[in-house]
Structure 1
Amino acid sequence: MKKQQLYSALTLFVALASATLLTGCPASMSASSYTRDQARSAQNVEFGTVQSVREVRIEGTKSGVGTLAGGAIGGVLGNEVGAGTGRTLATIGGGLAGAVAGSAVEEGVTRQTGLEITVRLDNGRTMAVTQAADESFVAGDRVRVLTDRFGTARVVR
């Protein structure tokens, strides 16, 4: 029976880990990445000059997938400890500890470095856009600011 429980726990772990990887990934914050909905959609283009660039941290996602996966895995592993009331308490404790750990892992894995880019547009207006730090910008760079119909903006060369 122990072998069957271990096999079940391992199967559950693999399934939940796969779900976390597939659904827990954040939308890209890169100026070079577009969602399927953004492809072939018109965007407003404004030209301007970079005034300043500041490195920022973009928080990771907190979708709940990590919490659920961690809780399930912790509960299954906790269920392998003890017997009777001790097993029940270990299952509950393992589930709670796993949920906290899973949430922290999801947030940490999806956190990224970003840039807050302040641009003085040619029309005189100033705007700031925060995006992934996958391209470098410095004050004085001529750039384009692309804005879609939902207000999502990106700074590109």
Structure 2
Amino acid sequence: MKQAGIVFLLSLSLTGCMTDQTGTTYSASEARQMQTVLFGTVAESRLVKLEGTQGEVGTLAGAAVGGITGSSIGGQRESAIAAVAGAVAGGVLGSMAEKKITAKQGVELTVRLDDGSYVSVVQQVDPAVNFASGDKVKILTQGSTSRVVKVQ
């Protein structure tokens, strides 16, 4: 029961680390900042996979679960060895789990700009927005961050 609670807390903490990278989501620091706007037409769109993060949260939580699990094995000496082994294995598995849990579906959009040149932007799929060849779009760029949104 204790282990199930720890696994639940791990998954809850990992979902808190996820950020939305769709074309319609902005961070608080992006608000009230000027953006460059380019207009064009979608030439091609294809689904891609956005890799998840591998941070300390998954590693530490996995290590904690593995250490607790390992410490309940055998006598005093064996449980100490099992706790260390469990912590190491749990840390590796927790890191892998974090990467899998935080992975997202992306879309690569190739846009023919109004001046005839082409650019490509990858962003997270927004279930409310489907891009198709021929769609009129605008590309909003602020610093090194660009997003594609449909022209309304």
Letter in 1 for 2:71: N
Conserved 8 A contact 2:7-2:65? no
Task: Determine the C-alpha separation between the residues in 2 that align with 1:52 and 1:109.
Answer: 28
Q: Deviations over 1:131-153 (max 9, x none)?
A: 111121111111000001x2211
Conserved 8 A contact 2:44-2:109? yes
Match of 1:62, SS?
coil
Q: Deviations over 1:74-132 (max 9, x none)?
A: 11221122122211111011101211221121111111111100001112221100011
Task: Determine the C-alpha separation between the residues in 2 that align with 1:107 and 1:14.
Answer: 15
Task: Determine the C-alpha separation between the residues in 1 that align with 2:109 and 2:135.
Answer: 11
Distance 1:92 1:129, change over 3 A: same
Structure 2 residue aligned with 1:3: none
* Aligned pair partner of 2:59 in 53, 63, 67: 67
Letter in 2 for 1:90: A
Conserved 8 A contact 1:117-1:128? yes
Letter in 2 for 1:136: N
Deviates more, 1:123-132 or 1:47-56: 123-132
Structure 1 residue aligned with 2:36: 44
Distance 1:28 1:78, change over 3 A: same
* Aligned pair partner of 1:100 in 92, 98, 112: 92
Gaps of 5+ in 2: none
Gaps of 5+ in 1: 1-5
* Aligned pair partner of 1:147 in 141, 149, 152: 141
* Aligned pair partner of 1:137 in 122, 125, 131: 131
* Aligned pair partner of 1:27 in 1, 14, 19: 19
Q: Provide the TM-score with structure 2 as the length reference.
A: 0.87
Match of 1:108, SS?
helix
Number of corresponding residues: 147
Conserved 8 A contact 1:20-1:69? no
* Aligned pair partner of 1:58 in 50, 64, 72: 50
Task: Determine the C-alpha separation between the residues in 2 that align with 1:126 and 1:47.
Answer: 11
Structural RMSD (CA)? 2.1
